[in-house]
């Protein structure tokens, strides 16, 4: 899923300072699963903002909504009839959802209520970790199902570097060495021979480096 | 000869090679480099110039190399893939070769987190092993990795680094082999203190015949004090200083620890010199370049040989 973290409330209050009437919009997709932008978070955020503004003597009218997904046009359409009755939309979906809404509602300012994080997994209750950078050229079959681009702090294709000690990356004691994980897994799979091969330079054009990306499925159009 | 560098000639002639390193200053004053280079001069076959080590911004390695050469020592350019993509790397390689730098060390580079610009973007477009391959392709095939023909191929004696003390141990020699396969001519190791681990490493490397394919320069760093030893052991990833080594220093009174550190370094060089497969030593006297003469001379490695191209084995 796409993960994220809430923006500090002070930052949000500063963003909405010019407005008296806004929509707070959540999303039932990824951000609901990682508990940063779902229906419940919409309610909590809206209440917090109302209280803060009332305390400052400038009440704020908020309409609370939570869309099935902010990244699909069909779920944005229901907002169209009323969106222009409000001065701004504070979205707590991911960056893709926020931008898509901005594209669809050209005359309404869109404000981000969260900082979008990464493509990750729930390692345990309340803890998410990155797994994929969406580089567009997957090599997981060669690396024991563990991504060197994402899991190695230097994205090395022939790791581990000299900073791997006791399975820990030199960058932080909280970061496992991705290449130690790869080697352990290759060993478990009896595929260590994959390690001994020189890998071609990675083509980054399929990643963000090639410019904004687009997927076109002719069979679906 | 692949590069014709002095270091390559010394190694090709079967002489025990000596390299050292100079860290460029955190400023634009050339005198700082020249002063360090004076301590190096005459004691080594080539001198590494580091490339923003520990991600702390310093004078560029290439500029440092030219200053080292100006002072009369052959430079060895360190190049990390942390800060430059393949376009910049290729361009800098051409420039370095054009300016007469003939020795190169291909490195990944410490993560930018350790420096004073932890907010910097990290590049790592290719890794250090792919950099070796890139340089070799340019040097030997006369083409860019893209396949386009070069208008004059760069000439480098291609080096890499290995750390026998990082984990997992079992992958360290296979990873060295990858560097040999990619085209490394020589290797400089991380500072060695644990001779037992290093001996095991060399046994594995020799089983694969790597010592016959790549000239192995063993890395040493003299310890100035027991405090430095403990700090390095604890704080620097991939440094392994065994307890008996620390104890030897700790047994000395504080004012005699530096002299003991030098004595231990000399002993260690002499041991390494006797090891099969070791072609030379890389003395990293960190901010202690003034002791290089004492260490290298003490190990019986002075004067450095003068090898003409005609004397080397082809």
Q: What confidence tens digit (pLDDT) does each residue in A2-41 have?
A: 999 999 999 999 999 999 999 999 999 999 999 999 999 9
- What is the spatial distance between Cα B71 and Cα A93, in angstroms, rounded to a whole number? 61
- Tell if the CB–CB gap between A166 and B178 is shorter than 8 Å: no
Indicate whether A193 and A144 sit together in one domain.
yes
CB contacts, 8 Å: A156 with chain B: 108, 124, 127-128
| pLDDT 10s digits, B162-209 | 999 999 999 999 999 999 999 999 999 999 999 999 999 999 999 999
Q: Please check whether residue B251 lies inside any domain of the structure.
A: yes
pLDDT at A111: 98
Contacts of B21 (CB under 8 A, 6+ apart): B47, B48, B49, B50, B282, B283, B284
Cross-chain Cβ contact B167/A166 below 8 Å: yes
Cα–chain center distance at A130: 10
Report whether B19 contacts B217 (CB < 8 A).
yes
Please check whether residue B187 is in contact with residue B162, taking contact to mean a CB–CB distance below 8 angstroms.
Answer: yes
Contact A163 B166 (CB under 8 A): yes
Say how far apart CA A178 and CA B44 lie, in whole Å. 38
To which residue do tokens 């990464």 refer? Answer: A118
Q: What pLDDT does residue B238 have? A: 85
d(CA B256, CA A113): 61
Say yes or no: A144 and A47 in one domain. Answer: no
Nearest chain B residue (CA) to A172:
B113
**Residue B100: how many CB atoms within 10 A of its CB?**
13
Query: Which residues pair with residue B281 across a beta bridge?
Result: B18, B218
Q: What is the dihedral of CA B116, B118, B121, B125, to 10 degrees?
A: 90
Say whether both A97 and A27 belong to one domain: yes
| pLDDT of B313 strictly over 90 | no
Which of A86, A118, A150 finishes a domain?
A118
Same domain assignment for residues A108 and A156? no
Of the residues A60, A87, A118, which one is the last residue of a structural domain?
A118
CATH number of the domain within which A99 lies: 3.40.50.2300
pLDDT of residue B310 exceeding 80 = no
Domain membership of residue B73 (yes or no) is yes
Tell me the longest C-alpha to C-alpha distance in chain A.
69
Residue A216 lies in a domain: no
Q: In what order do the strands lie in the sheet with A114-124?
A: A2-6, A114-124, A127-132
Q: How many CB pairs under 8 A join A and B?
A: 93
Q: Can you tell me whether residue B145 is helix, strand or coil?
A: coil
B122 touches chain A (CB under 8 A): yes
* Segment B218-233, tens digit of pLDDT: 999 999 999 999 999 9
Residue A13 sits in the same domain as residue A99 = yes
Nearest CB neighbour to A196, from listed B111, B114, B177: B177
Q: Return d(Cα B98, Cα B72) in angstroms, integer.
A: 18
Specify if B110 maps to a domain: yes
| pLDDT at residue B309, rounded to an integer | 76
Chain B positions touching A180 (Cβ under 8 A) are 167-168
**With an 8 Å Cβ cutoff, is B61 touching chain A?**
no
Parallel, antiparallel, or unpaired for β A2-6 and A114-124? antiparallel
Chain A residues with CB-CB distance to B134 below 8 A: 201
Residue B281 tokens read as 């030593």
- Summarize the confidence of residues B86-107 as an average pLDDT: 98
B1 found inside a domain = no
Q: Is B130 on the interface with A (CB under 8 A)?
A: yes
State residue B208 phi and psi, 5-degree precision.
Answer: -90, 0
Measured between CB atoms, which of A180, A199, A202 is closest to B168?
A: A180
Look at residue A125 and tell me if it is in a domain: no
Residue B314 pLDDT > 50:
no
- How many domains, chain A? 2
Q: Which helix (H) or strand (E) holds B87?
A: helix B86-98
- Residue of chain A nearest B86, judged by CA positions: A201
Which pLDDT does position B283 carry in this prediction?
A: 98
Establish if A130 belongs to a structural domain.
no
Nearest to A161 among B108, B168, B174 (CB): B108
Euclidean distance between CA atoms B122 and B83, whole angstroms: 6
Report the C-alpha gap between A98 and A62 in whole angstroms: 18
Q: Give the C-alpha separation, B205 to B198, whole Å.
A: 10
Residue B241: inside a domain: yes
Contact state of B178 with A202 under an 8 Å Cβ cutoff: no
CB contact under 8 A, A162 and B163: yes
Say if residue A72 is in the same domain as residue A107: yes
Measured between alpha carbons, how far is B24 from B61 in angstroms, rounded to an integer? 7
- Residue A78: CA count within 13 A, CB half-sphere: 10
Q: From the CA of A89, how many Å to the nearest CA of chain B?
A: 31
Closest residue, chain B, to A170 (C-alpha): B237
Same domain, A9 and A109: yes
Residue A151's H or E segment, with its range, is: helix A148-151
Is residue B136 classed as helix, strand or coil in its secondary structure? helix
CB contact under 8 Å between A195 and B111, yes or no, is: no
User: Residue A24 is part of which domain span?
Assistant: 2-118
Q: Is residue A129 part of a domain?
A: no
- pLDDT reported for residue B39: 97
Residue B238 in contact with partner chain A when CB distance is under 8 A: yes
Whether B211 has its CB under 8 Å from any CB of chain A: the answer is: no
**Are A202 and B182 inside 8 Å of each other by CB?**
no
In this structure, the answer to whether residues A19 and A112 fall within a common structural domain is: yes
Contact A163 B129 (CB under 8 A): no
Inspect the interface and report whether the beta carbons of A163 and B161 lie closer than 8 Å. no
Q: Which of A157, A180, A202 sits opposite B167 (nearest CB)?
A: A180
In a domain, A218, yes or no: no
Contact A154 B108 (CB under 8 A): yes
Tell me the shortest Cα–Cα distance from B166 to chain A, in angstroms: 5
Any A CB within 8 A of B175 CB = yes
Distances (CA, A) of B32 to B56, B61, B178, B189: 17, 14, 37, 26
- Contacts of residue A186 in chain B, CB cutoff 8 Å? none
Closest CA of chain A from B140, distance in Å = 18
The per-residue pLDDT string of chain A (221 residues; one tens digit each, 9 = 90 and over) reads: 999 999 999 999 999 999 999 999 999 999 999 999 999 999 999 999 999 999 999 999 999 999 999 999 999 999 999 999 999 999 999 999 999 999 999 999 999 999 999 999 999 999 999 999 999 999 999 999 999 999 999 999 999 999 999 999 999 999 999 999 999 999 999 999 999 999 999 999 999 999 999 999 999 99
A177 and A205 together in one domain: yes
Judgement on whether residues A111 and A141 belong to the same structural domain of the protein: no
How many angstroms separate the CA atoms of A38 and A34, rounded? 9
Q: Which of B111, B133, B145 faces A198 most closely, judged by CB atoms?
A: B133
Distance in Å, alpha carbon of B113 to nearest chain A alpha carbon: 7
Q: How confident is the model at residue B312 (pLDDT cuts 50, 70, 90)?
A: low
Q: Two tokens at B67?
A: 């200053």
Evaluate whether residue A217 is within a structural domain: no
Name the 3-class secondary structure at A214: coil
Mean pLDDT of chain B: 96
Of A118, A153, A177, the position where a domain reaches its end is A118
Count of structural domains, chain B: 1
Is the domain of A108 the same as that of A11? yes
A7 and A43, same domain (yes or no): yes
Residues B61, B62, B66: CA angle, nearest 5 degrees: 115
Contact B184, B5 (CB under 8 A): no
Task: Calculate mean pLDDT across residues B248-276.
Answer: 97
Q: What is the pLDDT of residues A110-121, one digit of tens each?
A: 999 999 999 999
Domain range enclosing B54: 6-301+306-310
Quick one: pLDDT band at residue B307, thresholds 50, 70, 90? very high
Handedness of CA B306, B307, B308, B309 (dihedral sign): negative
Establish if B16 belongs to a structural domain: yes
List the single residue in B with minimal CA-CA distance to A199. B130
Q: What is the 3-state secondary structure (H, E, C) of A7-47?
A: CCHHHHHHHCCCCCEEEEEEECCHHHHCCCCCHHHHHHHHH
- In contact, B77 and B41? CB cutoff 8 Å: no
B118: closest chain A residue by CA: A171
- Looking up residue B87, the CATH number of its domain turns out to be 3.20.20.220
Q: Mutation target for B interface from A148, A152, A161: give the one with most B CBs within 10 A.
A: A161
């Amino acid at each position: 899923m796409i993960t994220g973290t809430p923006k500090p409330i002070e930052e949000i209050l500063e963003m909405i300072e010019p407005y008296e009437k806004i929509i707070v919009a959540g999303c039932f997709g990824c951000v609901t699963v990682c508990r940063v932008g779902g229906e419940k978070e919409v309610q909590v955020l809206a209440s917090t903002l109302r209280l803060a503004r009332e305390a400052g003597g400038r009440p704020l009218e908020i309409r609370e909504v939570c869309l099935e997904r902010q990244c699909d046009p069909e779920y944005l359409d229901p907002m169209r009839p009323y969106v222009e009755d409000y001065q701004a939309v504070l979205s707590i979906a991911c960056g893709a959802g926020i931008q898509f809404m901005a594209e669809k509602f050209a005359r309404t300012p869109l404000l981000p209520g969260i900082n979008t994080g990464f493509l990750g997994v729930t390692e345990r209750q309340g803890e998410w970790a990155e797994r994929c950078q969406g580089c567009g050229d997957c090599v997981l079959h060669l690396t024991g199902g563990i991504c060197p681009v994402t899991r190695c702090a230097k994205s090395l294709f022939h790791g581990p570097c000299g900073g791997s000690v006791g399975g820990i990356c030199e960058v932080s004691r909280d970061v496992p060495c991705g290449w130690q994980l790869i080697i352990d897994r290759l060993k478990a799979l009896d595929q260590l021979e994959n390690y001994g091969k020189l890998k071609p330079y990675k083509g980054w054009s399929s990643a963000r480096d090639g410019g904004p990306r687009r997927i076109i499925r002719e069979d679906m159009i | 000869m692949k590069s014709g560098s002095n270091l390559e000639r010394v190694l090709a002639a079967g002489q025990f090679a000596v390299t050292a390193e100079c860290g460029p200053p955190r400023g634009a004053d050339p005198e700082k480099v020249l002063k360090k280079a004076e301590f190096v001069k005459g004691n080594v076959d080539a001198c590494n110039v580091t490339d923003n080590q520990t991600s702390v911004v310093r004078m560029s390695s290439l500029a440092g190399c030219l200053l080292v050469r100006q002072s009369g020592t052959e430079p060895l350019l360190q190049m990390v893939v942390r800060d430059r993509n393949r376009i910049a790397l290729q361009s800098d390689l051409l420039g370095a070769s054009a300016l007469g730098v003939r020795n190169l060390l291909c490195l990944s580079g410490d993560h930018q987190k350790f420096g004073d610009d932890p907010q910097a973007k990290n590049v790592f477009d290719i890794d250090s092993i792919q950099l070796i391959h890139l340089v070799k392709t340019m040097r030997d095939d006369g083409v860019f990795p893209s396949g386009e023909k070069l208008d004059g191929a760069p000439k480098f004696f291609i080096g890499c680094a290995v750390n026998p003390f990082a984990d997992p141990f079992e992958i360290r020699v296979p990873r060295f082999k990858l560097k040999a396969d990619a085209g490394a001519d020589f290797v400089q190791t991380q500072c060695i203190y644990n001779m037992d681990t290093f001996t095991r490493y060399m046994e594995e490397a020799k089983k694969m015949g790597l010592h016959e394919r790549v000239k192995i320069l063993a890395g040493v760093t003299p310890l100035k004090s027991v405090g430095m030893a403990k700090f390095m052991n604890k704080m620097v990833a991939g440094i392994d200083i065994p307890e008996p080594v620390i104890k030897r220093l700790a047994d000395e009174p504080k004012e005699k620890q530096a002299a003991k550190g030098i004595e231990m370094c000399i002993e260690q060089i002499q041991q390494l010199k006797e090891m099969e497969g070791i072609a030379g030593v890389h003395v990293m006297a960190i901010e202690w370049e003034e002791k290089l003469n004492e260490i290298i001379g003490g190990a019986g490695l002075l004067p450095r040989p003068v090898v003409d191209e005609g004397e080397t084995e082809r």
